[in-house]
Structure 1
Amino acid sequence: MLVSDRGALNAEQEAAIAEPGSVFLIACPGSGKTRTLTYKVASELEKIDSHRSFVAAITYTHRAADEIEERISGLGVDTSQLWIGTIHAFCLEWILKPYGKYHPDLQYGFQVINSHESEVILKRLCATSRNPAVTTFDCDYYFTDSSMELGCRTASKIPSVHRILQEYFGELHASRQIDFEHILKYAFEIVRDNPSVSTILSQIFTFIAIDEYQDTKQVQYSILGAIIKAGAGSTRTLIVGDPNQSIFASLGGYAIAPGDFRSLIGVPLREMALSRNYRSSERIIDYFGNFNVHGTLIEAASEHAAYASAITFDNVTTRNELETELARLIRHNIEVEGVSPNEICVVAPWWIHLAHMTRRLVALMPEYEFDGPGLVPFSRDIDNFWYKLAKLALTEASPRMFVLRLRWAGDIINDLELAGVDTSRISRRSLLRESNSIAPPDVEGLDYLASYFRTLFENLSIDYAQYRPLQEQHDAFFASSRQRVDRLVAEGAPYVSDIATFRRVFRPRTGITVSTIHGIKGAEFDTVVAFALLDGMVPHFSDADQLDSAKKLMYVIGSRARKHLHLIAERGRTKKGNWPDYDTTIPLKNLQYAYDR
């Protein structure tokens, strides 16, 4: 079989795949983590000898799930007994749907609301708060095994945030709705109070892969740990990640220690590592090694390890000069260094910095294409049903896209079921066939989507207006999308309303990428240009353990670059009130390094 042909694997990767028991794998940047996980999952699928057995792969994002499933299919392995997706999707499909009746809050049914619906409710409740004023940004929260933790760090706001959240929870409970954090809470409580559920799941899943463990929440560890423990060795795991890239602490994510995870699952666990970096030059690796909090071993192993990388640091350019300097760096890398535009990334800590900057760079450099947050012409709420369906509407029915589109079709069918639609007559393939048969004539993007959605549901004989979640999400998608398109057109980008611009959203990147630090985790580029590297932004002023958090963010930025790295801590970014301007983030300010000019 193709999976048995592992000539492309190194000794560390092969050892992790061949290990018969459970593995805790620490993988440095560029070490082939996804390749190793892919081969391991494929190998476990080949071992299945019963149609009742499954392999699960828990990923941090839907995009990662798409990529891994596509790679496994590319190895020629049957994925019919593979379940792959996020922990929220796993808990919904395998715990809440079949066993929700065992929880008093779910026994009469439930509906999952997406992030937009949640924000609408919270925004209305926050409007009642005065002195201090509370916004939806203050209302982030997550559950642990035993408590609810707030994202808000402003002491004067916390009582109001607690009151607003209790009202919010009350409204959800009254309408039998749950949000994404409650998916985890209820899944944990079902597993905790009904041990037989873990036992059943351990009999179904012979192997569970856990990707990006450093971003996993405590309650998620507990859910998956209970299933693995119930198997008493019959359910094995590969848990893989990089503790130096644990940058979602404000959302509850943390890198569990191997010993703690071993105690949680109650079975033998072998610690292993991937230490060979096949991405970056040795100079780049040495540089981001200055921010290596956990002291993990990283060896340069790429074909351009000896490349003469340029690493620059600019703390002189002012905020008003920033877009000109970014354009200069981009042009220098393309015209002098010979870097392809789609191998350049401009990165900053917050989306608010990037949307405006993307549009300014487009105006300043019309000869190049950009892929960034300021150019997405419709609402990018990844939890909205119609956003998910737009992926089918705007992508081509090609062999290369078949596996991804088949997976998206499955997600859409699951969402329809959650909304109360009878999907017994719809399969993933039949949904794709219906989708592929629709060709609206409209050249305006939103008109095209409206026509596609209407035709698809007519062909499926489904009146989506009869299902409140679908109708509300439909209204929200088009209202926010129309607002976004109108704003972009008014700001000098008339082309964004064209269907051609809409289609670009889901294509592989073709231009210069613009993203946040959190958004580029897992990506790689020849050149990375980072700005707003300022204390209070890197890390966010509300993050705990400020110095280590800042180091991890700098580690992520540096480790994305193959050849060149340009760092900017611009002057003149002001704070509210009488506070002094933002200064350079502490680990960058304290680092003594021989930068290039």
Structure 2
Amino acid sequence: LDKTDADPSTILALTFTDSAAKNMRDRLAQLIGPTAYYVNISTFHSFCADVIRRYPEYFPIARNSEPLTALERFEIIEQLIQKTKLSSIKPLNMPLYYLKEILSSISDLKREGINPDQFEKIIDQDAAQIEQNQDDYKKAQLAQMKKNIGKQRELLQLYRLYQQELRTRQRYDFDDMIMLVVEAFQEHELLLRLHQEQLHYFLVDEYQDTNSAQNKVVDLLASYWGDKANICVVGDPHQAIFRFQGASIENMLGFVDRYQEATVINLAQGYRCTQKIYDSAHTLIGNNKLSQVDSQADSAKNKLLKLLNQPLKSAVDELRPTADIPDNPIKVYSAPTQTMESIFVAKQIKELLDSGTEPDEIAVLYRYNSDSIEIAEALTKWGVRYEIEGGDDILQREFTNQLLNFFQILLDLRNTQEDQLVYQVLHYPWFKLDSLKVMKLGRVAGKLKLSLLEVIDRGYSSIKKAELQAVLSEDEFAEIKKFTDQLYHWSSLDHQLLFTHWFERVLKEAEIFEWLQAQPNYAQLLSELNSLYRQVKSMVASDRQFKLINFLQAIEVMREHKLQITVEDLNIKKGAVSLATVHKAKGQEWRHVFIIQCVDGKWGNRRPRNILPLPEGILEHTQISDKELNEDERRAFYVALTRAKDSVTVCYPETIVNDNHTDEKSASQFLYQLGDQIQIAEDEQLLNQADELLQKMIEPPVTVQPSLDQRQFFELILKDFKLSVTALNT
């Protein structure tokens, strides 16, 4: 913009997440002012969605069509499996055994820009190569490779049928969004030329994680200029944790191959970590083979890899006073048990907070979502506020399950199938029924050997007849009867209203919102409810006849297939310690980072369950077989390590209890690949007070005030809120 007086609208900047796109625009606005708002900055999916929306005539989907939900994708594939003749991926006793793997594989193929015809060619090439070189393989290995080819051919069959079904419905899935634009650009020259005339300069952020379909979008847009294209990509292959099959250097090698006159700029300084953390991270990642230099070759690839293998120099050490730089930024702590590990981390965090560190400068990172359970419990017991990054599954939350139980009762009322669930629902706090009165009714029902609703339906006269007035008075009975009449009313409303309207009305009349407002964790509960409502709206949008029975059936399918409804991430960072998986922590930073459960088998030497492998031929520039076993896990650990500005504490338990069985664990090999920068942490006081500390873990938790009040909550929601002038007028 400064040097060539270029039109800002001719620049296209692409990144991965909405928050990254917003940050890019905000920073650009600080640099160049209002002109930043004329630069096209978006995610890949947003850009492609805009192309589809503006030029619908080029795409075989219905107008205003929405991407399939995860549930709809499962249902379509399930139907296709059931009616298609298959053998390799449809076991007789468990026909849906491969369902999740089939969906995942189709997503991977689409992300790599592989349509069914291209997939068929890759399978044929792999099969021919296996046949040609079969003498090079061991007998069992050859049999397994041929078996995989058979699975891939059946996967191809389902892939074709799935795409045909989407076209019949005039729908698309999330991964189709980019593939549809790629195919439209390839098939319709006018559409491509329109965009090439408008867009002349291209920037791609986090390039190490872009997939082949995304690369094709950019390459097609830049193709008019060939090698002279104005295209800049930025990325770090060491941080490629989202790329298909961990192909960390695939994108960079592909780029220098396609744009052979490209200038490679090495960013040699880091502005986050201290030098000791960078040195340890460099020592760790040096064990990966895909990024090692071939000393015999003098190629563009080797020049790129040489730059990649240079250690980072910390600019932080130069900019900060020496006294502010920690002497031992990386500490390793070995705990006797997983519970003691969580207690150690909770105590360390409490000490940091007591010394004046802000909670949002601290993070606990882990490998899987399930790893957060025990540390979250320990932080609660030590009175430490925390926020789980990226949203938890609301189907695992108590409030959501209570709400779903309430809806189930409303459905069961029609079939007289109510059971113990009624007694449970009547105790839910938002209904404000006296628990003692409900218990009295339960006692009467027990004596009469009837269900609760049968007692209520028969009226108070049946209680008088059984001479049980002393157990439950007529006034007490009338109060509960009034409420159950309301249950029948809400149940019947389902037939009269659009399901979204029914959902809203029942929540309002049941006074659930009033109860929520009185709760100390109001913001969390409201976010949870809003996430469930978002799912309801999505379901109704695809089927206007959608009703309560359909909703509960859909929830049951989601639970069966372990599909999640994630809590909407409001990016609430203020006043709370962050708990996050490494993948959710990507792109973020904290002063102090704790990496937990660093045991062998979880961080390294993990045995992936790959029962439906895809051909290696999908990747053009990476020989997956050359990878060292733990390359993907090592890069994840590298990302975790380099989130820290000041200090990293790596912890692991020596024993873990699983299903009442104690397993002894070894430390992850990555701890031994950090070089000589680490310090062994000790906590004698922790061990001496073990009994007292363990007792604290089973005592009632300290009441922790929410990390933000209602005003802050709504300020965060409204921060990026947009309202059109038309909406204001109406």
Q: CA deviation at 1:214?
A: 0.5
- CA-based RMSD of the aligned residues comes to 4.6
| 1:370/1:126 CA distance change after superposition, 3 Å | farther
Counterpart code for 2:264: E
Query: Which secondary structure state, in structure 2, belongs to the residue aligned with residue 69 of structure 1?
Result: helix
Q: 1:367-386 maps to which residues of 2 (within 5 A)? A: 368-372=384-388
Q: Name the residue aligned to 1:229.
A: 223
Cα separation, 2, equivalents of 1:473 and 1:225: 46
Identity %: 17
1:280-315 alpha-carbon deviations (Å, 9 max, x no partner): 122222221212344133101113474324322234
CA, structure 1 residues 255+442, in 2 after alignment: closer, same or farther (shift >3 Å)?
farther
Give me the TM-score of the superposition, normalised by structure 1: 0.64
Q: For residue 291 of structure 1, what is the aligned residue in structure 2?
A: 284
Q: Distance in 2 between matches of 1:580 and 1:452?
A: 40
Instruction: Give CA deviations for 1:121-157 in whole Å, capped at 9, x if unaligned.
Output: 557778986448335366313223445599xx99698
Three-state SS of the structure 2 residue aligned to 1:273 is: coil
Partner of 1:243: 237
Matched, 1:220 2:178: no
Is the contact made by 1:369 and 1:510 (CA closer than 8 Å) also made in structure 2?
yes
Structure with bigger RCO (C-alpha 8 Å, 6+ apart): 2
1:330 aligns with 2:349: yes
| Aligned mate of 1:345, from 363, 380, 395 | 363
Q: Distance in 2 between matches of 1:357 and 1:124?
A: 39
Structure 2 residue matching 1:556: 3-state secondary structure: helix
Q: Partners in 2 of 1:362 and 1:126 — Cα distance?
A: 45
1:274 aligned residue (254, 258, 267): 267
Matched, 1:300 2:314: yes
1:73 matched to which residue of 2? 29
Q: Is the 8 A contact 1:275 1:299 kept in 2?
A: yes
Q: Equivalent residue for 1:25? A: none
Q: Report which of the two structures shows the higher radius of gyration computed on alpha carbons.
A: 2
1:487 aligned residue? none
* 2:18 maps to which of 62, 77, 90: 62
Note closer, same or farther for the CA distance 1:77–1:253 as it changes in structure 2 (3 Å cut).
Answer: farther
Worse-matched range after superposition: 327-336 or 519-528: 327-336
Following superposition, the deviation at residue 160 of structure 1 comes to 7.7
Question: Which amino acid in structure 1 is aligned with residue 5 of structure 2?
Answer: K
8 Å Cα contact 1:292-1:552 kept in structure 2: yes
C-alpha separation in 1, matches of 2:21 and 2:395: 22
Change (3 A) 1:510 1:579: closer
Task: Read off the aligned partner of 2:377 and give its amino acid letter.
Answer: R
SS at match of 2:353: helix
Alignment of 1:475-486 (within 5 A): none
Q: Which runs of 5+ in 2 are unaligned?
A: 83-89, 124-144, 287-307, 397-511, 517-521, 532-536, 560-566, 611-623, 682-730
CA distance in 2, matches of 1:316, 1:85: 45
Determine if the alignment matches structure 1 residue 310 to structure 2 residue 326. no
Aligned counterpart, 1:566: 649
Using the alignment, how far apart are the partners of 2:547 and 2:5 within structure 1?
A: 42
- In 2, are the aligned partners of 1:348 and 1:515 still within 8 Å (CA)? yes
Matched with 1:361 is 378
| Correspondence for 1:584 among 644, 649, 667 | 667
Partner of 1:522: 587
Q: 1:448-459 residue pairs with structure 2 within 5 A? A: none
Q: How does 1:349-428 map to 2 (within 5 A)?
A: 349-354=367-372, 356-357=373-374, 359-366=376-383, 368-372=384-388
TM-score (norm 2): 0.54
Q: Is 128-137 or 270-279 further displaced after alignment?
A: 128-137
Change (3 A) 1:452 1:186: closer
SS at match of 2:365: strand
Q: Which residue is 1:86 aligned to? A: 43
After TM superposition, give the deviation of residue 217 of structure 1 in Å. Answer: 0.7
Residue in 1 that maps onto 2:100 = 136
* Deviation sequence 1:218-258 (CA, Å, 0-9, x none): 22212211211223477512210111101113477644465
Do the aligned partners of residues 314 and 158 (structure 1) sit closer, same or farther apart at CA in structure 2, a change above 3 Å counting?
farther
With over 3 angstroms needed to count, the CA separation of the structure-2 counterparts of 1:106 and 1:346, relative to structure 1, is same
> Per residue, is there more helix in 1 or in 2?
2
Which structure has greater strand proportion?
1
Instruction: Give the Cα separation in 1 of the matches to 2:22 and 2:180.
Output: 26
In structure 2, C-alpha distance between the alignment counterparts of 1:473 and 1:285, rounded to whole Å:
56
2:268 is aligned with what amino acid? S
* Pairs within 5 Å for 1:176-195: 176-195=170-189
Partner SS, residue 527 of structure 1: strand
Q: Tell me if structure 2 keeps the 8 A contact 1:229–1:264.
A: no
Alpha-carbon spacing, 1:279–1:448, altered in 2? closer, same or farther (3 Å): closer
Contact 1:225 1:265 in 2 (8 A): no
Amino acid at match of 1:468: S
CA distance in 2, matches of 1:342, 1:450: 22
Contact 1:58 1:86 in 2 (8 A): yes
Q: Contact 1:139 / 1:165 at 8 angstroms: preserved in 2?
A: no
- Secondary structure in 2 aligned to 1:345? strand
Deviation per residue, 1:530-553 (Å, 9 max, x gap): 112234433553396432222211
Question: Structure 1 residues 281 and 466, CA, compared in 2 at 3 Å: closer, same or farther?
Answer: closer
Equivalent residue number for residue 541 of structure 1: 607
Instruction: Indicate how the Cα distance of structure 1 residues 360 and 374 shifts in structure 2: closer, same or farther if over 3 A, else same.
Output: farther
Listed one character per residue, the Cα deviations across residues 539-597 of structure 1 (whole Å, up to 9, x for unaligned) are 55339643222221121111111111111232334789x99866433333455534232
Aligned residue number for residue 67 of structure 2 = 112
Q: Which amino acid aligns with 1:113?
A: L
CA contact (8 A) 1:334 1:341 kept: yes
Deviation, 1:176, is: 1.7
SS in 1 for 2:50: helix
SS of residue paired to 2:342: helix
- In structure 2, relative to structure 1, the CA distance for the partners of 1:47 and 1:234 (3 Å cut) is farther
**Whole-Å separation in 2 of the counterparts to 1:583 and 1:473:** 52
CA contact (8 A) 1:106 1:176 kept: yes
Q: Is the 8 Å Cα contact of residues 61 and 167 (structure 2) preserved in structure 1?
A: no
CA distance in 1, matches of 2:7, 2:675: 58
Structure-2 change in CA distance of 1:465 and 1:125 (3 Å): closer
Amino acid in the other structure paired with 2:269: R
For 1:178, the aligned partner's letter is: Y
